[in-house]
Amino acid sequence: MPKHPTITEDGIAQLVDTFYARIRTEPILGPVFEAKIAPDAWPRHLATMRRFWSSVMLTSGAYSGNPVSVHRGVPGLERPMFAHWLALFTQTAEDLFESAPAADFAVKARRVAFSLELAVFHRLGAPPDGLALPQRKAG
């Protein structure tokens, strides 16, 4: 199948369906999704995610919701999962879209994933993960 040359609602729908089909079988992320989303609730989740990505990529305004509070209520969600999520999402976008639109997805996904990760996990006063605080010289 030829790759999508631009980002359209149809392309977003295909990306969402393909991404979550993959995620459900991914060993780290799959069990977290399966535990929270009942089998008969998947169509609703996919519809929500289509609206979300339509809002992010096409500024359609189709999505309204609060992803931060939703993810605070996902049992088993751990901070390192965001890197897995992002790698799988970026790969799926590359598989389905030509390189320019795939890169647009990757940039947006990275930004949203990073801010979601911070909102859910960062605690004021704690240093950001992986960053050492600069050493100050005494005197």
Contact residues: ligand HEM, CB under 6 A: 29, 32-33, 36-37, 45, 48, 52, 65, 67, 70-71, 74, 77, 81-82, 85, 109, 112-113, 116
Question: Which C-beta is closer to ligand HEM: that of 52 or that of 97?
Answer: 52
| Residues 45, 65 contacting (CB under 8 angstroms) | no
Burial of 92: CB neighbours in 10 Å, binned 0-12, 13-18, 19+ = buried
| Closest CB 63 distance from ligand HEM, rounded Å | 7
Question: Which C-beta is closer to ligand HEM: that of 21 or that of 70?
Answer: 70
Q: SS3 for 97?
A: strand
| Closest CB 65 distance from ligand HEM, rounded Å | 3
Question: Which C-beta is closer to ligand HEM: that of 3 or that of 79?
Answer: 79
Sign of CA dihedral 66, 43, 56, 92: positive
Question: Which C-beta is closer to ligand HEM: that of 13 or that of 37?
Answer: 37
Helix (H), strand (E) at residue 56: helix 42-58
